[in-house]
Structure 1
């Protein structure tokens, strides 16, 4: 299998509701999000590419830039969510607790399919790096998404 991979860096805040330690506090990261893409078939385009890197940038990286960069991510079930939203209407309410694992899963299974629709390409791996030491990764296994 041949893949095309591109990463994008964004800065945003979050908190992990219910976390037993300091990640329960409001804080932020300089995230690095990596998307690995593969064609829905094994064939490459007429130039020998899975997909031009600029298309990955335009469709996935710019989604991150426009929707999440310099925003605060909060789970809609978090007791602080309504207060944060009242203070700053640009706060992004999510259907999940914003752990690196949940973010990777959401980007790969919800955002990427919408952004890449019509390209003949899908994300097979999404890595969300919170720091140089800590990251979470979602992968497609044998053509099937891992169980949640």
Structure 2
């Protein structure tokens, strides 16, 4: 039997969606809420994972890598110019939509950060606003 544990974390960061047909093509930012859902069999204590471990391994990754930064697709035509202006630009291998951010966290960051545990990040939901969110499931 598999159980799930969830934790969310709030970050603020900027982005732009290259090729977007509307205002999201402009430089802008969000107060994101990122929800992590981890699964595993229960440990000897009766939990999937201690919530503080989700914080230290996944939430703190967000703090260290994306919070108060500007997330930009490495193929964005503005990448060279924006990187030259500010060292807070983080280049990523995907257009930074909420969907792609969730997918990157599930498929790349979760396995990396949870390596050595029996826990798997099976779902990530990225809320761009309180009304709009995107999820990726493993």
Q: How many positions carry a matched residue from both structures?
A: 137
TM normalised by structure 1 equals 0.91
After TM superposition, the score normalised by the length of structure 2 is: 0.97
Q: Within 5 Å, which residues of 2 pair with 1:101-116?
A: 101-116=99-114
Structure-2 residue corresponding to 1:59: 57
Q: CA RMSD in A?
A: 0.7
Whether 2:51 is the aligned partner of 1:23: answer no
Select the residue among 64, 67, 70 that pairs with 2:68.
70
Q: CA deviation at 1:7?
A: 0.3
Give the Cα separation in 2 of the matches to 1:107 and 1:79.
Answer: 24
How far does the alpha carbon of each residue in 1:71-114 deviate from its partner, in whole angstroms, 9 at most, with x for none?
Answer: 00000111111111000122000111000000000001001100
- Structure 1 outlier segments of 4+, above 3 Å: none
Whether 2:15 is the aligned partner of 1:3: answer: no
Q: Could you tell me which residue of structure 1 aligns to residue 95 of structure 2?
A: 97
The CA deviation at 1:4 is: 0.4
CA distance in 2, matches of 1:132, 1:33: 11
Query: Gapped runs of 5+ residues in structure 1?
Result: 141-148
